[in-house]
Structure 1
Amino acid sequence: MRKTFIIIISCFTAFAATAAKVDTVNIYSAAMQKHISCVVITPDTYSKNARKFPVLYLLHGHGGSFREWVIKAPDLIKSVDETGMIVVCPDGGKASWYLDAPQLPESKYETHVAKEVTNYIDKNYRTIQNRSGRAIAGLSMGGHGAMYLAIKHKEVYGACVALSAGVDFTPFPNNWGLPLLLGEYASNKNRWVAHTVQHLAHTALAGNELQIAIDCGVDDFFIGVNRILHQTLNELKIAHDYTERPGKHDWNYWNNAIGYQMYYLKKYFDKNNHKN
């Protein structure tokens, strides 16, 4: 079921200058046995020709929802038209960390986002249906989710962008609902470590199979773990783009950063899909 998703915000003039279409769809999750909402943004060019389009899956942060990017990042809609990609904003729950949670078996957002959402989008939109036509990005919890899912599902995604990402959450054992997903840290350290991007960088990023970008503000509380991941990737000789700029863990930073990173992904899509 698809319906038009109408957003009223103060920056109406920014929307009026573009023709991207914002819909909300309800996707049935067999893994969790419920319908879950998702925003789909199609660029102006989608209705003007029959070609297939690359897709960016864009994940929200802790406590957010599928609506958050469209409401709180007013520059996103303009970037969709300028880069000519479909942007899909799945719902990851309030505190799922985009995991199939071992401690909470009813929370299977890894399966939902990486399999159920992508399958639905490919069936219902004109998409490039291979990894070179798919990227995944997100902020904070969603930044972790983007890299985590991209590493674990390299057959699905060819590129990933982590904004202000909690790429190693083991320094924060009591925060953001993580004990509910993974158990208490003190008695489940190996499980916690195994579910971090920092750990997967050592075990699952063989070669340069992913286009990777990491972007974090210098005053962000996650800057330390991002710098460590950057160093680890350098030591493993894994190519990646790394950006630090002034900024905190807030929407001013993410609204600015997503425009830069969508152009980064556009270059990736253009290079790998010139025949589509």
Structure 2
Amino acid sequence: MTSLEIAGIPAAYIRAAASGNQGSVRDVVYPVNHYINQLRQFVTNREVDFWETGRETVRGEAIMKCCSVYLPAGYDDSDNATRYNVLYLLHGVGGDQYEWLRGSWNEGGNSILCNMIDNLIANGDIDPVIVVMPNGRSSHDWTESKFNSEGTNMLGFYYFDYELRYDLIPYIESTFKTYANIGETDPEAIEFSRKHRAIAGLSMGGMQALNLILGGYRCDSATITGVASEWENGLASTVPVRGMTDIFAYVGSFSNAPTSSNGKLLGTSIALRGRKLQVLYMTCGDADEVSFKCYNQSIEGLTDRAGDFLNSYYQVTIKGGIHDFQVWHNGAYHFIRLLFGNGEAHS
């Protein structure tokens, strides 16, 4: 585990940057061919084995979903020479593609997240970066945010990796000026691209960053599957996820929610995939009654099992922190500074 002295976010980084240094946010609509339908079937346009999904797969029409995309100051659609790294930020169980932007207070008329990134870029702490904030429910009712353990909207959280790999990332990388190109599949290109993509999430999104990216378990309704819920929230583990460390080299999890897999499994999955993670950053408040127990379970044994396939690992417990944006903004600020060759993880 790499030592990291954690301090609060500097006040100047929370305030709005000068007007010429402020990025912009776009609402982007894109087609999704991989999602849970109203019959709890998995809709896909490719051949997928039952053992991989744990449910019946069917063909179906694409649905249209929306994500929010932060573009740094100076981004120009017509500039084909300048390329950008990409960070994907995932929301919580009751949130959506706007939670990182609207879920907390704002400062100077802008979200804290945008202010932080604007200032990090303007001060030379990081290279300009594109930030994609999707809706993490890969389901026909993706706009439904109510917690219901038997709902298809909840089930969609555990199948978001398909949408991410086959729908969202290809759309982003064909629409915006990114270093990464998922269409290039030779080994050197795959390794190059994964080092220009990062992903992190808060709460339920933190679970997705662990289970779906590192490789844990999918979950479904305990009532429907007939399997007892180890978290007492009506959800139970079903089938393992192959993970996406071939896509991402940087992963962050902030206050990962119950249903996150345990650290021994996650570490084993990292090693089995054979792709070295450049940064794994996990944080939680020690007064977080929602996530702290699960956070501890997800870190136990992880580094031992991951071995040499984990380059820099940050385990950050926030004293007195609870399940809120004080912890999540802090996690995002410090995680972003470590990405893509910036910060002490690569010094």
Q: Distance in 2 between matches of 1:257 and 1:197?
A: 21
Partners in 2 of 1:265 and 1:224 — Cα distance? 27
The 2-side partners of 1:28 and 1:55 are apart by 20
| 8 A contact 1:131–1:157 mirrored in 2 | yes
Which residue of structure 1 aligns with residue 16 of structure 2?
14
Unaligned runs of 5+ in 2: 1-13, 36-61, 105-110, 138-144, 181-192, 215-242
Matches within 5 A, 1:63-82: 63-73=94-104, 74-81=111-118, 82=121
Once residues 282 and 156 of structure 2 are traced to their aligned partners in structure 1, the CA distance between those partners, rounded to angstroms, is: 30
Matched with 2:234 is none
Deviations 1:134-180 (A, max 9, x none): 010000000011122322011111110000002x527xxxxxxxxxx
Offset at residue 229 of structure 1 (A) = 2.6
Maintained 8 Å contact 1:114/1:149 = no
Could you tell me how far apart the structure 2 residues matched to 1:63 and 1:22 are?
21
- TM-score, normalisation: structure 1: 0.73
> Aligned ranges for residues 39-188 of structure 1 at < 5 Å?
39-47=68-76, 50-73=81-104, 74-81=111-118, 82=121, 83=126, 84-93=128-137, 94=145, 108-129=159-180, 130-151=193-214, 152-166=243-257, 169=259
Structure 1, unmatched stretches of 5+, are: 1-11, 171-195
Shift of 1:105: 8.2
Partners of 1:19 and 1:159 in 2: CA distance: 25
CA pair 214-131 structure 1, distance change in 2 beyond 3 A: same
Q: Which amino acid aligns with 2:94?
A: G
Name the SS of the counterpart of 1:160 in structure 2: strand
Structure 1's consecutive aligned runs of 4 or more residues displaced over 4 angstroms after TM superposition are: 15-18, 103-107, 268-272
Aligned-partner SS, 1:23: strand
Aligned residue type for 1:169: T
Q: CA deviation at 1:27?
A: 1.1
Larger radius of gyration: 2
Report the structure, 1 or 2, having the larger helix content. 1
Change (3 A) 1:258 1:271: closer
CA offset at residue 270 of structure 1? Answer: 11
Q: Secondary structure at the match of 2:247?
A: coil
Whole-Å separation in 1 of the counterparts to 2:88 and 2:262: 18
Q: Matched residues in 2 for 1:115 and 1:131: separation?
A: 15
Rounded to whole Å, the distance in 1 between the matches of 2:100 and 2:332 is: 10
1:182-221 matched pairs, under 5 angstroms: 196=261, 198=263, 200-206=265-271, 209-210=276-277, 211-221=279-289
Change in 2 beyond 3 A, CA 1:253/1:105: closer
Conserved 8 A contact 1:75-1:259: no
**Number of residue-to-residue matches in the alignment:** 230
**Residues 132-141 or 236-245, more deviating:** 236-245
Moved more, 14-23 or 247-256: 14-23
Q: Which amino acid aligns with 1:227?
A: N
Deviation of 1:114 (Å): 3.0
The offset of 1:271, in angstroms, is: 8.6
Structure 1 residue 232: Cα displacement: 1.0
- Aligned counterpart, 2:10: none
Name the residue aligned to 2:330: 256
Distance 1:105 1:113, change over 3 A: closer
Q: 1:15, CA displacement in angstroms?
A: 6.7
Instruction: Report the CA distance between 1:258 and its aligned residue.
Output: 1.4
Superposition TM-score, scaled by structure 2 size: 0.59
CA RMSD of aligned residues (A): 3.1
Aligned-partner residue type, residue 176 of structure 2: Y
